[in-house]
Structure 1
Amino acid sequence: MTIKPLAPDELLTTTRSVRKRLDLTRPVPMDLVRECLEIALQAPSGGNRQGWHWLVVTDAGLRKAIGDYYRRSLRAYYESGTSAGKLFQDDPVRGATQRRVSDSSEYLGEHMGEVPVMVIGCITATGGLPPGNQAGLWGSLLPAAWSYMLAARSRGLGTAWTTLHLAYESEIAELLGIPSDVRQGVLIPTAHYTGDTFRPAARQPLDEVLHLDRW
């Protein structure tokens, strides 16, 4: 597999959530997924525990079942009135962006079960989720998941970060045989992408969110 020669800054600023441009018909070799996960395992984790687990789902029946749960969760999300498309409606620029995000999210929701590979990042949580601040737990998984997405981008794969499946976490855990002391943190649909127009996204100006020494 040819790795795109992307400079670090370009890789970091052009790795986007790919939803509409996932190739739903082209298989993704498991060796390619393994390469990306090997890179993900180099990410930091609290105490170097490396308590993560990576469930790679390729079976058509399991993907369809997860896709069905995901679609149900997405519909509830849209009916709640808090979806991306409802945000910043009074801002013509950001509002238009939010509507595009919402549209692409809806498309992915309808086709999630057709994505050739689903990667579910999990972490051991013996005794259940800790009370109060859980940053230490999830901070030992999510950097590795992002590293996976970066590695996928450089190998011609599109990914998207989503957690909507967690509304049915227990059902999906039973479906996939996930132990009770392992919790799911992220679902990353993975496929070859169509098109090649990745570029940095519009973001809030740094000075609007930067605080020096004090808030």
Structure 2
Amino acid sequence: MTLDLTPDELLSTTRAVRRRLDLTRPVPRELIEECVDLATQAPTGRNRQRWHFLVVTDPGRRRAVADIFLRALAQASGQPLTGRDLWRMDYHPGSTERVFDGLRHLADNIHQVPAFVIPAIEGRTDRASVAEQAGTWGSILPAVWSFMLAARARGLGTTWTTAQAPLERELATVLGVPYDKVMLAAFIPLAFTIGTDFKPARRIPRDQVLHWDRW
């Protein structure tokens, strides 16, 4: 059963869900499979279809993966923030604080999340050119976003994280992934949501991001 959402509602209310994940309710395998089927309909560079989705629901394996997530999260630093970044992040007062509060809540409860989805793609971009990176990420990202939209339509919540990055090799080993040939692109907690009444996020105004004919 899917939610009665228009395409515009689906696109504007698919949020990064951290606080409102239902940690008590298992996610049926068939629902996840439906989301993957839709994800693989996404456009992909040169029709190479190199994406994969690793789903972790086994309790013991989830505990091991959650532990890696927490240790990787502690090591993650990300790119330095510019003044422009900080301006965007704080355009609506309190929004950044809410994001980090949600992340802390997710970290505190990560061991209870019923499913992890780890999208992967064949080929590594560690020292690749910008053109090759664009082709690789341009292939996996549409598929993952399609997965997240399909999940939202089925009452499931997701959030894109890249917290696995500092310990990607260790995570690959735990999951039996050939690290030298396959890149783990993200780490996505998946669960039913507590309520389905998500609303569009407040963003910076259109005139700050839209450029017409030239920058």
Alignment-derived partner of residue 185 in structure 2: 185
Secondary structure (helix, strand or coil) at the match of 1:200 reads coil
Output aligned runs, 1:42-61, within 5 Å.
42-61=41-60
Unaligned runs of 5+ in 2: none
List structure 1 segments (4+ residues) > 6 angstroms apart after TM superposition.
none
Shift of 1:87: 4.2
Output aligned runs, 1:116-131, within 5 Å.
116-125=114-123, 129=126, 131=128
Secondary structure (helix, strand or coil) at the match of 2:128 reads coil
Unaligned runs of 5+ in 1: none
Deviations 1:9-42 (A, max 9, x none): 0000000011111111111100010001000010
Alignment-derived partner of residue 104 in structure 1: 102
Q: Which range is displaced more, 45-54 or 129-138?
A: 129-138
TM-score in terms of structure 1 length: 0.90
Given that 2:89 and 2:95 are in contact with CA atoms closer than 8 Å, whether structure 1 keeps it comes out as no
1: distance between equivalents of 2:188 and 2:126? 22
Select 2:113's aligned residue among 112, 115, 129.
Answer: 115
Secondary structure (helix, strand or coil) at the match of 1:171 reads helix
Alignment-derived partner of residue 35 in structure 1: 34
Q: Which amino acid aligns with 2:192?
A: H
Q: Which amino acid aligns with 1:144?
A: A
Alignment-derived partner of residue 203 in structure 2: 203
Change (3 A) 1:5 1:189: same
Given that 2:35 and 2:150 are in contact with CA atoms closer than 8 Å, whether structure 1 keeps it comes out as yes
Alignment-derived partner of residue 129 in structure 2: 132
Shift of 1:74: 2.4
Q: Which amino acid aligns with 1:190?
A: L
Count of matched residue positions in the alignment of Structure 1 and Structure 2: 209
Secondary structure (helix, strand or coil) at the match of 2:186 reads strand
TM-score in terms of structure 2 length: 0.90
1: distance between equivalents of 2:76 and 2:50? 30
Deviations 1:92-147 (A, max 9, x none): x6340100000001111222222111111000006x64522111101101110000
2: distance between equivalents of 1:158 and 1:102? 18
Change (3 A) 1:203 1:51: same
Deviations 1:171-201 (A, max 9, x none): 0000000013010111111101102330100
Shift of 1:64: 1.3
Root-mean-square deviation over aligned CA pairs: 2.3
Percent of residue pairs identical: 49
Q: Which amino acid aligns with 2:24?
A: T
Shift of 1:90: 9.8
Shift of 1:53: 0.8
